[in-house]
């Protein structure tokens, strides 16, 4: 995706499904792309962080929440965190406790933050998604 399609938001971190920097949506569900073979995606919809908001459109509510609530520092893990968070909202709803968010982020690592702003961003993004047509 990065080299051939120039979709550089998805990062290769650990290359072993441990860090979550590579999370994309496959048919609307979060998957770690570093261990998903291309043949497994054939005929399926793959959405990267670049596809959350259309070109020229406002940011997706979860992206905006990360910006507004300072849910990133270096930004390396951010696309994977956001893609995981959007999937989380689709699975668990718009009212998420800090405990649920932290549990669901278990497969996503951030080396810069203490996660509190990421958790706050996801909670705010979940609520904002309820108010948008991207619920």
Contacts 24+ apart (CB under 8 A), 7-15: 7/48, 7/50, 9/48, 9/49, 9/50, 9/79, 10/48, 10/49, 10/79, 10/80, 11/76, 11/77, 11/79, 11/80, 13/76, 13/77, 13/80, 13/109
Compute CA distances 55 → 52, 59, 122, whole Å: 10, 9, 23
Q: List the domain boundaries for the chain.
A: 23-131
> Does the structure show a pLDDT above 80 at 135?
no
Q: What are phi and psi of 24, to 5 degrees?
A: -130, 175
Question: Which of the residue ranges 2-6, 38-42, 122-126 would you say has the lowest mean pLDDT?
Answer: 2-6
Query: What are the pLDDT digits (tens) for 11-49?
Result: 788 877 888 889 999 999 999 998 888 898 899 999 999
User: What pLDDT was estimated at residue 113?
Assistant: 82
The CATH number that domain 23-131 falls under is 1.10.150.120
The pTM of the full predicted model, rounded to 2 decimals, is: 0.92
* pLDDT confidence of residue 134: 65
pLDDT at 120 over 60: yes
pLDDT digits (tens, 9 = 90+) for 68-78: 999 999 989 99
| Element counts in the chain: helices (H) and strands (E) | 5, 3
């Amino acid at each position: 995706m990065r080299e051939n399609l120039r979709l550089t938001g998805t990062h290769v971190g650990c290359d072993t499904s441990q860090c979550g920097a590579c999370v994309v949506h496959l048919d609307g569900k979060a998957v770690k792309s570093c261990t998903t073979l291309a043949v497994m995606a054939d005929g399926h919809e793959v959405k990267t962080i670049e596809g959350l908001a259309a070109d020229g459109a406002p940011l997706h509510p979860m992206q905006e929440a990360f910006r507004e609530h300072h849910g990133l520092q270096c930004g390396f893990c951010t696309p994977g965190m956001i893609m995981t968070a959007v999937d989380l909202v689709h699975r668990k709803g718009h009212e998420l406790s800090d405990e649920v968010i932290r549990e669901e982020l278990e497969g996503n690592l951030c080396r810069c933050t203490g996660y509190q702003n990421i958790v706050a961003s996801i909670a705010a993004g979940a609520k904002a998604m309820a108010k948008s047509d991207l619920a």
